[in-house]
Amino acid sequence: MRFQKRRKAVFRTGLTAVFLLFGVAFVNLQSVDAGEAEGKTIYQANCLECHGEQGDGKGFVCFSTKMEKSGRSIKTFARDFTAAVFKFRTTSTGCLPLDQDLEDTVKKGIPPSFMPSFQDFSSQQIKDVLAYVMTFSERWEDEDLCDPIPIVKPTWVGSAASVKKGEQVYKQMKCWECHGDTGKGDGTKSNELKDDFGRMIVPFDFTTGELKRGTSPEAVYITFTTGLDGTGMPSYEDSLGEEDRWHMVSHTLKLMDMVD
């Protein structure tokens, strides 16, 4: 059962006892309480250092990266769970991620970032810690889940013809303004980007050959379709047809030197 729907069902029973613990509303009720209580223990041992006691991304650890091109330093903060805005989803922009989206992120980590993999966690441990993470925002109680975006990869993805069409779409959508003509993240606007929280960010360098979500055509496609909420990376679900998005995938794979 989905964590979100499970929590809503509990609230509807009228048997919920809510109290404040470390400034966070905590649901204390049988199986939900058991999962969240165990999740809190896991969170405090493995997540609190970066994501903070209140889940606001203001933990003890903040990473600073020196950018070679501009010489400026970029501070990287952990995800703010109180905002419940997530980059990696299989749902449309503005929607909450599905449980499976969150489980995949926890299990796989985000390789080019500072989010480690917790692949040694059991499935139940991951579910428990996510149940606790969801207590940081009321969005999980107030909003219904969106349907996942279907992914059906055409056979021509990665072909020379598709790469060429994708390059045209790349220019048309002005992707070069951030990511640069050759995908190195050095576009004309690359030094002035901020996320939704007002923090300086840098566009991704495709030529590294390693994307945060993975390098499969499907992973690149879903990123173009959903966008990365909270960042400057928009969703093209409404502004580009499905075929053009797949052509963009082909061009991106070319920039990553994954196709001829």
What is the pLDDT, as a whole number, of residue 72?
53
Ordered structural domains, the chain, with CATH: 3-142 (1.10.760.10), 160-255 (1.10.760.10)
> In Å, how far from its chain's centre is CA 51?
15
In 3D, which of 152, 101, 125 has the Cα closest to residue 37? 125
DSSP-derived letter for residue 96 is P
What is the pLDDT, as a whole number, of residue 24?
37
How far lies 43's CA from each of 3, 7, 73, 174, 204, in Å?
Answer: 16, 19, 29, 40, 29
The reply to whether the predicted model has a pTM over 0.85 is no
Listed as ranges, residues in the chain with pLDDT below 70 are 1-33, 62-75
CB neighbour list of residue 27: distance below 8 Å, 6 or more residues apart: 7, 10, 11, 16, 18, 33, 36, 135
What is the pLDDT, as a whole number, of residue 244?
98
- The C-alpha atoms of residue 126 and residue 40 are separated, in whole angstroms, by 11
pLDDT per residue as tens digits for the range 3-34: 544 444 333 333 333 323 333 333 333 344 67
- Write down the residue that tokens 């495709």 correspond to: 206
pLDDT per residue as tens digits for the range 161-173: 999 999 999 999 9
What is the pLDDT, as a whole number, of residue 124?
96
